[in-house]
Amino acid sequence: MLATLVAAAACNPTSPVVHHGQSEIPGPRTDAASAFDIANRTIVMFGGANRSGVLDETWTWDGRVWQRHQPASLPPAREFAFMGFDPGTSRVVLFGGTTCAPPQVPDPTGCEYQQQQTNLSDTWAWDGRSWSPINTQHSPSIKDFRGDVGGIAADLRRGELILVTYGVWGAGNVVETWALRNGDWLRLHPEHLPPASEFSGPTYDAVRGHLIIQQQGIANTTWTWDGSDWSYLPLSVKTPHSYGQLVSVGPRGLLLIDGNVAYRWNGTTWAALTSSRHRSSGRCAGDSVGPLPTTNPAMSSSSSAAGSAPEGLTFWAIPSAGTDRHGRHWFEPNRRP
C-alpha cells in the first residue's frame, strides 16, 4: 500500500489547533481516506479496514498528536473513499468508498480480496466537530475506488471541489470530471480528456494555479485542469515513468511519492529527489523527503487519498498496515525523522 503524507512541523508555527476528541494513536489499518482540513489546519482520516472489517473511525492529526473523534452522526464504515477539502463550504467532503464483510482467517485484509463488495455513492461533510450528510441529487458512478483510478481535490484558484475518475465499464471507459456545486455533483464536459489509464492525483499545484494529474503509460504525461478543460504538457516537462501519491507542498509545487522514489514538480518540470532522514540545515521543510520506508513497522496506519498541506511543512509517511506495493514497511506515524 502507498502511504499518505502528513504535515508535521512548520517553519513558521501557527497557533495550536483546539481538538475536540480523545488523544491516542490509530491502530493498523489499510486504505483509509484522508484530506487536509484547511479551515481547522488538521489532517482528517476516516475509515479503512483491519482484521475486524471496514472501519467508521474519524481521526485528526495536527502535526503533534492524533485525536479520535466520536460524533453522534457519522458515515457508515468503508475503505477507499475519496476525500478532499471543499473551498466553497470550508468543510472536508467524503464521497463513496467500498464496504464488505470482515475477512476470513486465511484472507488478506481489505475489500479488494473479498468475493463480494459494495461500492457506495453517498456524500458527507466534516466541519471539525461532526459529520453531516450531503443529499445530492446526482453522484458519479465509480467503477473502482482504487487510488490510482480516481480522487478528489480542491481547486483553490476557482474555489471548488473537483472529482476525477474512470467511468463505469460500458459507459465509454473515459476519465470523467465532476464538480461539487450548490450541494450537488455536476458532471463537466471538457473538450479534452485524459486517457483512461492509471493516474496520480488530482492535486492542486499552487505554482500554476491548476489541478494536476500525472499518468504513467506508453507516453508518460502530465495533465492540467484550468477550470474548464484539460490540457497535457509537452514531453519536455519530463513526466516520471511512475505513479503513486501526489501531494501539494504549496509554493514548492508537488511531490510524487512511489515507494522509496520521489519526484518534485516545480510548476515547470519534474525532477527526481534524493531521500533524507533529516532536514538539511538552513533549509525550510519540504525541500527533502523523509523518512523513507523501513523494515520495522511497530505501529502503523495508512490512507488511500493524499491531499494538500499547509505551506512550509515537513512531510513524512503515515505507515501502512503491512507493506506497500513494493514490499516495504513504513515508519510509525508519531516518530519524527
* 236 confidence band (pLDDT: 50, 70, 90): very high
pLDDT digits (tens, 9 = 90+) for 206-220: 999 999 999 887 678
Where do the domains of the chain lie? 22-317
Pairing of strands 33-37, 184-188: unpaired
Residues 6 or more apart whose Cβ sits within 8 Å of residue 189: none
- Report the percentage of the chain scoring pLDDT > 90: 58
CATH architecture of 22-317: 6 Propeller (2.120)
User: Cβ(141)–Cβ(121) under 8 Å?
Assistant: yes
Q: What value does the mean pLDDT take over residues 251-270?
A: 92
* 18 confidence band (pLDDT: 50, 70, 90): low
**Scanning the structure block, which residue is given the C-alpha cell 461539487?**
180
CA distance 183 to 71: 22
CA distance 254 to 250: 8
The pLDDT of residue 158 = 95
What is the distance, to the nearest Å, from the Cα of residue 56 to the centroid of all Cα atoms in its chain?
17
pLDDT higher than 80, residue 19: no
pLDDT higher than 60, residue 280: no
Number of CB atoms found within 10 A of residue 228's CB: 11
| Closest among 11, 20, 28 to 319, alpha carbons compared | 28
Residue 236: DSSP 8-state: G
Ramachandran region, residue 197 (left: φ > 0; alpha: ψ -120 to 50; beta: rest) = beta
**Scanning the structure block, which residue is given the C-alpha cell 513558521?**
12
CA distance 305 to 285: 22
pLDDT digits (tens, 9 = 90+) for 36-93: 999 999 999 999 999 999 999 999 999 999 999 999 999 999 999 999 999 999 999 9
Q: What value does the mean pLDDT take over residues 125-146?
A: 92
* 142 confidence band (pLDDT: 50, 70, 90): confident
pTM: 0.79
Q: Quote the cell numbers at residue 53.
A: 472489517
Distances (CA, A) of 329 to 142, 205, 322: 30, 29, 6
| Closest among 329, 307, 335 to 93, alpha carbons compared | 307
Q: What value does the mean pLDDT take over residues 258-267?
A: 91
The pLDDT of residue 330 = 30
The pLDDT of residue 195 = 83
The pLDDT of residue 44 = 97
Pairing of strands 82-86, 66-69: unpaired
| Closest among 266, 237, 271 to 250, alpha carbons compared | 266
Average pLDDT along the chain: 78
pLDDT digits (tens, 9 = 90+) for 175-185: 899 999 999 99
